[in-house]
Structures are given as C-alpha cells and as structure tokens.
Structure 1
Amino acid sequence: MSQNKTGGHKGAWRSQKRKEGEGRICIRYKCCLTNTIQDVLYHRPGWVEVKEDGEWDFNWCDVGWMRDNFDHFYMEEHVRICHFRNHYELTRKNLMVKNLKRYRKALERDLGQQEASKCEFFPQTFELPNEYHIFVEEFKRSIGTTWIMKPVARSQGKGIFLFRKLKDIIDWRKDGTRSEEQKDEVQVENYVAQRYIENPYLIAGRKFDLRVYVLVTSYIPLKAWLYRDGFARFSNTRFSLNSIDDQYVHLTNVAVQKTAPAYDPEKGCKWQMQQLRLYLTAKHGFDTVQSLFKEIDNIFIHSLLSVQKTIINDKHCFELYGYDILLDENLKPWLIEVNASPSLSASSQGDYDMKYRLLEDTLDIVDMEGRLTGKEKRVGGYDLMWNDGPVYMDDDGLEALGGSCLIANTHLGCVNDRQKQLQQLLKPFPGLKKP
C-alpha cells in the first residue's frame, strides 16, 4: 500500500496476495472521481474502496492530487497511480509544442530532413506573451489568416477564441510593447496562438475531431497501447469561416456543444470510430484510409518519443491519454492537443458503454491482479503499438490483410472483439466471481 512519509502503515498489505486458505485477493483503491471510472472500480471483483490516503494500493486521482501529494508518499512495489509526475510536458499545450519542436530539430540534426518531416503534424504555434514579437512577424506575413487562441492549462473549450486582428489579443503583448498602466496590471494568463485549420474535413457540412485513447505504462522503456475504440466529436452547426465568433461552429468539445440550443442529448454529436472508418473507406477507398490511419499512428509515436527523456519515469505510474486529432480536407491528420484527464463522463448510453469497456481494459493492462505475462500484444480492446520499438502484427493478422511485410500492430477503428479475446487471455482467480 501507499505510505505517508510522515506516518506509518495503517493496515496490512493484502494486494496481489491470496488470503491463506481462501484463495482470494483484495485490492484497495482510492478514486476522487464520480463518473464512469468509479463504476468500473466498484464492480471489479476483489477491489474494495478506501477513503484514507494511507491505505490504498491503486489510486485514480486527478492531476491536482498528483501536484499536491505525490512527493509525500512512499509507495510499495505493487502500488499504481494514474498519472506520471510531470505529465504536463505532453498535456499542457505550450509544453507539448515546445517538446515537439525540440524533438523535430533533433531528428533533423541526427537523421536528416526526411525523418524530421514526420513531425509536421501540429499547426504553427506561438506561446503568448513570451513569443508575441515572433508571432506578430508571422501574422503580418499572412494577413487574413484565422488564428485560434487557447489557454495553455485549461480544458473543455474554456477561454478559446478565434481572431484575425492583432487588436483582439492586445492583452497578450510582450512587456516591452505594453503601456505603463498595463504593466502594473496582473500578469495575463499564458495562451498559445495557433494557426487555425481553415479547411477541415467536413461530414454533412459539419466540422469534427477525433478522440483517441493511448495508454502508456512506461517511458523507459517506452511501452504504449492504442485502443481500438474512440469517437468523432461533431459541431452542432454547419461549418463557415464567416462567423469566427460562433463557438458552436468551431469548437467540437462536448462541454461546448451540449449547450447549443438545438443539441439533442439522446443523439449527442458523436460517431464511434468504427462508423467513421467505414464512412471514410466507402468514400475514399481502403488504401487511402489505411494510409491516413498510419499517419495517425505516427502522431502517437513521435509525440510520445518527444517527451520520453523529459517525463519522470516511475514504475508506479501509468497514463491514459486522450488525443485530439483533426483531419483537413486533404485527409491530413493534425494533432490539436493531448489530454491527461480525458473526460470519463458519458454523454449517452453508448458513450458510457464504450468508456466502461475502455477503463476495464485499462485496469487489465495495469494488472494489479498479476494475471498477465508481460508478453501480450493485445489485451481486450488495446493493441500494443510500441515496446521499446515498433510492435508488428502477428502472422495471422498479416495473412488476413493478404501480405507478409511488417505492419504496425494498430487497429484503430477496427472490429473490437474484446470480450472473446479477454475470455481466452484472462482466467479468473479462485474465489472471484464476476457480477
């Protein structure tokens, strides 16, 4: 269990141990959220919720808890927690871009321009107010371009707006250009100014982005899993650049769209990833869509590699990332942001079911029960895509595709027969019965 550095153990550790004579295990968990993850943990056989900080073996916490408490705990070998200590190196918008730019330069220096070009998947971005002068130079070179402003550490669409005039961002001018009166005011919040994708791929005239889930269980070595399910989040209003102030046109966040006057909570604004992949394949062909999803895989791998040496690796930590990907009209995928705490609240019954399965499979990979060998390429709906190097499909998967060359072990938007796979992979412990 966890142990507070200022105190001692508050109970005997029973996790991953069978109680003598009973053949049972007990895993003590702590969870600060009241959404789908709480339901999954509550119904997991052998898991028991505890309230006190000193008695848990597994903690699904928010990033605020990590910031305030992580350094004050000594953790036993078996303990697991759902964030890396400095997760924000990838999930804070300004740091993500900073790390990607540095990584791209390193690739160009060490491997050449062709390899560095594989990182051309994020829009041109500037941090304000620190890079205000550099931004202004670029802004003047492309008058009429639409830009989007985002606070670096907020989520759910809060604080975001589009602009085409410098006067709209006067509050973010670098100190040297601010008036004496402005200098006396409280420092403005850091934002990023990002070139807006003005030609998004549209379906029924509406903009959408993709929410994809990637689970990282280690950074050294890097071990990352890609979930087959995910969804496309649609705007509630037809796309147009004539109304850049209309958030229902430009922001696909569910937290924004559900406040739209015409929003239908039963239908929501989502397509499951399988539905989107079938639509794109029918319209553009198998090969084109295969190439598109290969480019999306490239985004996951290079973004994780960009922070591999920066993230503080800890064997107790794992991270479930929510990637936001936007497609343009040329079917080029763009990385918009990465979320350390992707929403686990459900907007519909289908959404709840998908997230419930995602979280069940996440816990199976974290494997507090000790049922895995560590050599698995697939667990439930997850496929292992990187394990200190690329992971490739098994022979049967290659034969199904009619080829024999090395193909990445990723199946985003493909059939997710997780239940059958889990029945073959995971055998329940004696004394544990599924509800």
Structure 2
Amino acid sequence: MSGAGTTDTVTTGTGNTDTLWQRALELDAADPLAAYRERFIGTDTELSYLDGNSLGRPLKRTVADISSFIQDNWGGRLIRGWDEEWLELPQAIGDQLGRAVIGAAPGQTIIADSTTVVLYKLIRAALAAVTDPARTEIVLDTDNFPTDRYLIEGIAREEGLTLRWIDADPASGVTIDQVRAATGPATAVVVLSQIAYRSGFLADLPGITAAVHDAGALAVWDLCHSAGSVEIALDDADVDFAAGCTYKYLNGGPGSPAFAYVNARHLPGLQQPIWGWMGRKDSFEMAPGYEAAAGIRGFLSGTPAIFGMLAMRGTLDLLEEAGMAAVREKSLLMTAFAVELHDAWLAPAGVELATPRDPELRGSHITVDHPAFREMTAALWEKDVIPDFRAPQGIRIGLSPLSTSFAELYRGVAAIRELLGRAA
C-alpha cells in the first residue's frame, strides 16, 4: 500500500506541532471513510478514544435498534419472537459476518457464547477430528492472549496432551519459520492469534495455515484483534477453525457474543463438546439423547444472546457498505501517522515503539513502551484521552478506522507527549 508506506518513511520530520496538525487535517479531509465517524455516539466531542481495539464505540442507530426491539419485538411479539426470527439470528448474522468481514461462504459462521467458550469448543472439536494417535501435541505461543494460553493449558491437562511452545517476541509475533520448526508428526492442533494483542503484529495467516497443513495438523485462529480491522479470507486460506469477539471493531458492546467459523469440509460428522438444547437437531423436541443439528448450527449450546447480536448488526452493515479493503487502507494510514507522531514527539522522550515499522506487518493498533506509562494511563483517562495499558510498560494506541479521525489521534498522542514532558 504505497500511501501508508510513504507516510511511514517520514518518521522524524521536524516534530513541528503546526506541521503535524496540518497533516492530520489533510488526512481527515482526504479520508473517504470520514463520514462514517458521524454515525457513532460521542465522536462530536473532544474526547480522544484510542481504545477501539478493546471496546468499540456504539453506533447511533444502535439506540433505535435496541429501543425498537424492546418495544416492538420483545414487548410486542414476546415469546413468539423465537419462532419468527430470533432462533435464526445466530446463523443469519454469522453469515453476514462471514461475508462482510472474514471471507467465509454461508453456513460456516455462527454467533455463540463468549470467545473463551467458543475457542474451547473449536479446539476440542479439532482435537476430536485428529485420528492419528501419535499426534499428541498442541502448538501455541508464549505471548498469545492470556485466555488462549490458560484455556489450552486446561485442555491439555484434560486430554493428557503435550504443549509445544513457540517463544514469540513480544515486539513482533509468530513467524512461518517458527511454526515450521515447532510442528511435525506429533502435532495435532496449532492455535495462534492473527494479530498479537500486545504488539499489533499481523501474522501471515495463509502462509502459517499452509505450514500447519504441511505438517498434517489443523489450524485454529483467534481473530479477536483482526475481525473488522484487516482483510481476512478464511476460505481462500483453507483455515480449519477460527473464533473472534465482536465488541472491538464490530461494536457489539460489552460482553457481546463471539463467533465461530468451521470450514465446511470439517462440518460433516464433527461435534463440539458442550451439548445444549440449542445445538440439538430439533431444539423443541425435548426428547431423550443428544443428536447435533446439521452444519454450523451444531456448534450452538445454550440460548443465544440476542441483544449483543443486534448491536453488531449495524457495524456489519457499515462494513459491507464501506468494504474491508477501504477499512484496511485507512488503518494502514492511521498506524503510519501514529508511528510518525511517535518518532517526532515520543521517541525523544525515551519512548520505544514495540510494534513493527512495516505497515503491512501491523494490525490497527501500535504499542509504545515507557516506564511511566502504568501510572500515566489513569492521568490520560482523566484528560479524556483513552488508550489502554498492557504490562509491563506499554500503552496501546488502538485505531478503529470507521470511528477514529486523524485529528483525534493527533490530540491523543499530543496529550501523551505533554504528560511525559511534565514527568521529565
């Protein structure tokens, strides 16, 4: 992407505040997605929200959508809503998410449970699909998100499996060569995140998936920090299984349900381990014994979380309208401008960039490290500048392309510079 690459080469510049402010204004004026920002609540204030990679802003339409649902659907149709629409929402919205965001054909994506529960189901299902008794290892990396690591450790204990750890660099992420070195005849499943939650490193999903398959193993991907921020093509990459949350770049709201993707070639005969009434072939038959519903619906367990699905629907509509290619283009420009601001203002104060400099190797956030950042984060929040802190000393600057402006990014990094100056 030549635009982002050019921007990223202008690293130190003059550091002149007026020049950088003018650049922010010019980037906003040239932004084809700028009008989408007005559709989100709170973007008409001076608050600098740099944490869309943890919790996305709500859409204005969500207020009307939820209000209408309460008044007309829940309040008006009551329990009839299950038969009329709600039972079908997990797969209907899953198909839209598959189409708009992750490059999945219909019938492979469903909305269900939390990310932790979805990952548990997928990993256990993947292990059950491995028939070679010699394959007793799960490969994972040392810097994956804690839930992923804890969950896999628990599964390994349950199943008597061995964990093979990839020692990931916290400032980058897992590479194809590392995966090739860690996999072999004993590998059953490899579990990785497409974007490293700490550094923002963007893994080579197609290349790593191919390497996993070359080793005769199955790949399970965590898409929590990539869904809605980068282009994903799960079907084209022949990914086996994937999970992701919906409260970050998909704006489903706090605790909104996660999604599960299962490649169509794995669906026949595959079962997940948490059997519940909603995943049975006829949920309302109430008969003895469990027989999974055909296809992706068999990955449901309990009653779907309708409210969270309704909230994410608005963002899926926007992403279909804007297109993930345009979203990724803006993301590249925004992280490049964030690096430029870092180099001009923060690096001279001793701040280190903990994110790859190559724009193509980044997701939609950058991480900057400094010993003062743990205490400083609370002070930034008091000033209505909201990044997040990740131990041991990193501030993540998360940039949600549909709702974040370049001027907003400028104001946020300027506030970090100001507080660093006071601490010096």
Q: Same fold (TM over 0.5)?
A: no
Structure of greater Rg: 1
TM-score for the superposition, normalised by structure 1: 0.22
User: Per chain length, whose mean CA-contact separation is higher, i.e. which structure has more relative contact order (CA < 8 Å, sep 6+)?
Assistant: 2
- Where is the strand percentage greater, Structure 1 or Structure 2? 1
